[in-house]
Amino acid sequence: MNLDSLYGPVHQDLDLVDETIDALRDVGFEPMAEMLDLVLAARGKRLRPALSLLAGKFGRYRLDLLVPLAASIELLHTATLVHDDVIDNAATRRGHPTANSVLHNTTTVMLGDYMFAHAADFAASTGNIEVIRLFSRTVMTIARGEIGQDMTAYDTRQTVREYLQRIGGKTASLFAAACQGGALLADASRDRVDALRDYGYKLGMAFQVVDDILDFVGDEEEMGKPVGSDLSQGTLTLPSLLLLDRYPKNNPIRKLFAHRRRQEYLSQAVEMIRQSDIPRESYQMAEGFAREAEEALTALPKNSARRTLRDIVAYVLERQS
């Protein structure tokens, strides 16, 4: 699906968000500019900033406020990826070299911190205290989710419930903040703000479940990362949890976690999941979250932005990378 057409009424305004972020490269310090070039080259689908702009369509659409918010959301997301790549020792991201594969880890962490600070500055520039507090709470929630993931690495005692709590913090909270923040800046009514927040959260949950499925069944070249990369880092996601549940004793995941870097066990786990109905079962959970996201939209007026938000739900379920 062409993302410009998917984002409908806001796709041109996303260029303003890109320009705002790209302006960060003009720092007057060549080493920093080169580092920012490196991390900003792997620009993603711009889904989160698009959600902020679309949420703004349910009130007074003020680009002078919405563009900085959208930029802060996208930069916050990018900064978390920079830190994730350090933690995972990842060599590539979306087919591009990661910062930590080129720079020292210490430098990369500081670069991520610099981006977090700029994201906060963008949020503060809206002058809306509720949005600023929302940004701060979201950073705390994401950090809590990341810490939880790190603390439970290689632990097979995790449950699906704990997994859902983790992805709610790591991923869905930012989707929710993108939508809620856009609605707040548009002075939307409280029921619309709540509906958009709920939509964003459920969309984010569906997005992450699909992402975790693709980690096992996706195409490496299309995804820009190796299949099974989460499991290789000791992170249990929905498909791997379902495999552990079906085979509690003789399970390659337990052997992988016991021996850590044994590729044979990782390959075996990936193949077992691919050859089972676990991907389909996992998709059913994603579809459930997607339905809840669509239900949240019923509280909103019927306009082009609402249709676009509904199309995005379908895109999240159908995407291959």
What is the per-residue pLDDT for 224? 73
What is the per-residue pLDDT for 93? 67
For residues 256-270, give the mean pLDDT: 89
For residues 33-41, give the mean pLDDT: 88
Share above pLDDT 90 across residues of the chain, in percent, rounded to a whole number: 78
CA torsion angle 158 162 163 169 (round to 10)? -140
Give residue for tokens 């503060």: 124
pLDDT, tens only, 157-184: 999 999 999 999 999 999 999 999 999 9
Residue 1 has pLDDT above 70, yes or no: no
CATH of domain 9-318: 1.10.600.10
- Angle formed by the axes of helices 304-318 and 190-217, to 10°? 20
d(CA 116, CA 275): 41
Ramachandran region of residue 111, left (φ > 0), alpha (ψ -120 to 50) or beta? alpha
Written as six digits, the tokens of 208 are 């992450």
Where residue 129 falls among pLDDT bands split at 50, 70, 90? very high
Strand partners, 97: 92
Secondary element (H or E) of residue 96: strand 96-97
Please give the model's pTM, rounded to 2 decimal places. Answer: 0.95
What is the per-residue pLDDT for 225? 80
The pLDDT mean for the chain works out to: 93
